[in-house]
Copies of this chain bind each other. A is one copy, B any other.
Amino acid sequence: MTRRYNFCAGPAALPEAVLARAQDELLDYQGRGLSVMEMSHRSNEFVAIAEQTEADLRQLLGIPSNYKVLFLQGGASLQFAMLPMNLLGHGGSGNFIQTGIWGKKALTEAKRLGFRHHVAASSEASGHTKVPAQDALQISTDAAYLHYTSNETIGGLEFDYVPQAQRSDGADVPLVCDMSSNILSGPLDVSQFGVIYAGAQKNIGPAGLTLVVVRDDLLGSAPPTIPSLFDYQQLAEAGSMVNTPPTYAWYLAGLVFQWLKDDIGGLEAMDAINRRKAQKLYAAIDASELYSNPIALANRSRMNVPFVLDDARLDNAFLKEADEAGLLNLKGHRSVGGMRASLYNAVPEEAVDALIAFMADFEQRRG
């Protein structure tokens, strides 16, 4: 077996220690004679796994007791529908900060479903290279929540602050954040948010699991006419088991949380590693003649580093040689082209060092 360095934007690299433990336990979980995949979600064994997973996440993120944690299906994209259906059932509009493709999808889905919506700010004029400033936000008078995407996976644009939202009457507007691609990359003050959600397949676990953290006061206002699996309140009351949850993905998320706690030492330590990884890759890009990244310095994503070669005819050679050098999945998203190196938690610093060395070598030979 030879593990390679995997810079995939998602489904993304998982910690090797997590995969090794999953492998070890795959046919026989702790001597019980069956796989976690084969357990009833209501069995004592699985309920213990589920509860430990939630407890570890609560500890890592410091989630206050007035928040519920849900382990759901459908990805962030299903949340694009569930959020307005839960939060706009009694009127009001969703306010959206637009900083790229994912934020636009969230807005488009609310529109599709017929909900009132308002663009509170957009970075479109800058080509989504700079996050709008706090004082540029225009919150509508009927705002029921403010939604933003803390890290745009495709554009490589990350918020360097947590927006504050108040209506003109002074009322606080709950903040809703899609953190799919940067959750758990560093510490977070959950109390600033109404809802945090994230698809698992970047920093949490395998695809097919979605994390939702929702403040208690936002539960219970969904109209009774939405699909029963969409109602946060019902999901919370059932411990995310209105129906059978994705048990194996939930278990793997638990292994990732344990790895973050025990192997990494928590989110501050993770943050320091992530900053170092991103800093050195951006420094290498900035110092080169061949590679470039267009994002404003303060908003460069620590998780997704898109870059282009100044001669796009070299792209295929770059990707082919990188792959041969054991550096996988560096191709940029099909909608933007170029390259993208995703540096999620599970991508080790050695991978970034190897990428930087390869990039320098490639530039010397081909640039």
| B244–A75 CB distance below 8 A | yes
- A224 CB–B CB distance under 8 Å: yes
Bitwise interface map of A from 204 to 236 toward B, beta carbon under 8 Å scored 1, else 0: 001111000000000000001101110000000
Bitwise interface map of A from 17 to 46 toward B, beta carbon under 8 Å scored 1, else 0: 001101100111001111101111111000
Shortest Cβ gap from A46 to chain B (Å): 8
- A12 CB–B CB distance under 8 Å: yes
Known A33-B3, A248-B206, A329-B40; contact A228-B112, beta-carbon cutoff 8 A? yes
Known A73-B73, A113-B225; contact A34-B3, beta-carbon cutoff 8 A? yes
Secondary structure at chain A's binding surface: helix, strand, loop or mixed?
Answer: loop
State which residues 29-83 of A face B: CB under 8 Å: 31-35, 37-43, 73-78, 81
* Chain B contacts for A112, CB-based, 8 A: 224-225, 227-228
| A28–B3 CB distance below 8 A | yes
Partner of A208, one of B28, B38, B247: B247
Q: A23-B27, A206-B246 are in contact. List 8 more A-B contacts (CB 8 A).
A: A3-B28, A8-B38, A8-B43, A19-B37, A77-B229, A78-B227, A112-B224, A249-B249
* Chain B contacts for A326, CB-based, 8 A: 33
| B206–A40 CB distance below 8 A | no
Measured CA separation A20–B23 after assembly (Å): 10
- A170 CB–B CB distance under 8 Å: no
* Chain B contacts for A35, CB-based, 8 A: 14, 19
Bitwise interface map of A from 281 to 302 toward B, beta carbon under 8 Å scored 1, else 0: 0000000000000000000000
| A74–B73 CB distance below 8 A | yes
* Chain B contacts for A243, CB-based, 8 A: 74-78
| B207–A209 CB distance below 8 A | no
Known A81-B229, A244-B11; contact A3-B16, beta-carbon cutoff 8 A? no
* Chain B contacts for A207, CB-based, 8 A: 37, 41, 244-248
| B33–A206 CB distance below 8 A | no
Measured CA separation A114–B247 after assembly (Å): 31
Partner of A227, one of B14, B20, B113: B113
Partner of A26, one of B22, B38, B242: B22
Measured CA separation A26–B255 after assembly (Å): 15
Shortest Cβ gap from A230 to chain B (Å): 8
| A77–B3 CB distance below 8 A | no
- A319 CB–B CB distance under 8 Å: no
Shortest Cβ gap from A155 to chain B (Å): 18
- A136 CB–B CB distance under 8 Å: no
Q: Which of A10, A22, A33, A242 has most chain B Cβ within 10 Å?
A: A33
Shortest Cβ gap from A267 to chain B (Å): 22
- A270 CB–B CB distance under 8 Å: no
Partner of A33, one of B42, B43, B199, B328: B328
* Chain B contacts for A201, CB-based, 8 A: 244
| A11–B28 CB distance below 8 A | no
| A229–B19 CB distance below 8 A | no
Known A208-B247, A227-B113; contact A34-B6, beta-carbon cutoff 8 A? yes
* Chain B contacts for A244, CB-based, 8 A: 10-11, 75, 199, 201, 207
